Amino acid sequence: MGVTRDREVTSHQMPKPLIEARNIKLRVPVFQPDERQILSNPKRFFLDLYFSRSRRGTITILDDISVTLMPGERLGVIGANGAGKSTLLRVLAGIYVPTEGELTVNGNAKGLFDISLGMNQEATGLENIYMRGLQMGMNLSEIRERVPGIVAFAELGDSLEKPFNTYSTGMRLRLAVSVSTMIEPDILLLDEWIGAGDVHFRQKLKERMDRLVEKSRGLVLATHNAALMRSLCTHGLLLGEGKILYYGALEDTLAFYGEINST
């Protein structure tokens, strides 16, 4: 369970990898309901709902994952639904602590895991910007300075003072991206919902990511969208049922992914 987080990036020495993960394994507790026959007949339906119990078990979500991310690299994690992509991002962000293996993260890793997570639905866009800013450790005047930039990127216009739950998907996506990159993290972790945006959004996202990586920072993107991955990433990691199926250059990984899908 070795987890080292070093927040000072020392640039004058040999470039240290931003992320170094060796043989990471994550086991998580799950509820496994006892066998039920809910579908068999209506009587069983209610009996099972009342009396069937769940047992606790554990499943292995990530198994033997080794990854290195150097400054300036953009890693795309691709794989089917349930392959462990999002979980891997949460491990890299330090939210889940690996059960086994070693993880070293140099610099701060910030994530965008879900479009609505961390946003208060009832609060206005402006209030959400302030809340997230505070969570990132900024004071009120620092946040105020950044508001115009965020509003411009998110194209909120007059909606700034309207509740978050009235926003269109595009506005939510743009707001989430611009808020999360308010402080430019050393490593940005993006989950697959990011592929939900339209072409216009993807263009903006690419610009933002290019700017981040210019400052020799890293990106890890989880997706099952090969086109999005091709436009953003330099390296690829193919996951299947929590294990590494392929890890290497972007095109090789995508080719391998295509092969698997076609067979």
Partner 1 sequence: MAPQEQGGNEMPARDVISGLSRFEFWLYSSWFKFLIQYRKTLLGPVWLLVGPALFILVLGLLFSQVNAVDADLFIPHLTIGLITWTLISGFVTNSTTVFQRSRPQILQGTMRLSDIVMVDIISTVLQFLHQVVIVFAVFLIYSRSVSLYSFVSLLGLALLIANGIWLTVFFGIIGARFRDLAEIVGAIMRIAFLATPIIWLPGETSHGLLMSAFLTFNPFYHFLELVRAPLLNAAIAPLSWMVVLTLTVIGFALAIVFYQRFFRQVPLWV
Q: Which of 239, 125, 210 is nearest to 176 (CA)?
A: 125
State which of residues 48, 64, 142, 252 lies at the interface with partner 1 (CB under 8 A). 142
Smaller CB separation from partner 1, 137 or 157 = 137
Local structure of 191: helix, strand or coil: coil
Report the alpha-carbon distance of residue 75 to residue 92 in Å, rounded: 12
x-or-dash pattern for partner 1, window 45-84, by CB under 8 A?
A: ----------------------------------------
From the CB of 123, what's the least distance to partner 1, in Å?
A: 6
Q: Which residue has the tokens 């990586």?
A: 213
Residues in region 166-195 near partner 1 by CB under 8 A: 183, 185
Q: Which residue has the tokens 């611009």?
A: 178
Alpha-carbon Rg for the chain in angstroms: 21
Smaller CB separation from partner 1, 105 or 226 = 105
State which of residues 139, 168, 262, 263 lies at the interface with partner 1 (CB under 8 A). 139
State which of residues 48, 100, 241, 252 lies at the interface with partner 1 (CB under 8 A). 100
Smaller CB separation from partner 1, 95 or 227 = 95
> Applying CB under 8 A, does 7 fall inside the site for partner 1?
yes
State which of residues 28, 49, 227, 249 lies at the interface with partner 1 (CB under 8 A). 28
Report the alpha-carbon distance of residue 163 to residue 133 in Å, rounded: 18
Burial 68-89 (b: 16+ CB within 10 A, else e): ebbbebbbbbbbeeebbbbbbb
Report the alpha-carbon distance of residue 93 to residue 215 in Å, rounded: 20
Beta-strand ranges (E) seen in 158-260 are: 187-190, 218-223, 235-240, 243-249
Stretch that binds partner 1, among 64-72, 124-132, 232-240, 253-261 (CB under 8 A): 124-132
Residues in region 190-249 near partner 1 by CB under 8 A: none
Local structure of 251: helix, strand or coil: helix
Q: List interacting residues with partner 1 (CB under 8 A).
A: 1-5, 7, 28-29, 90, 93-97, 100, 102, 104, 108-111, 113-114, 116-118, 120, 122-123, 127, 130-132, 134-139, 142, 183, 185
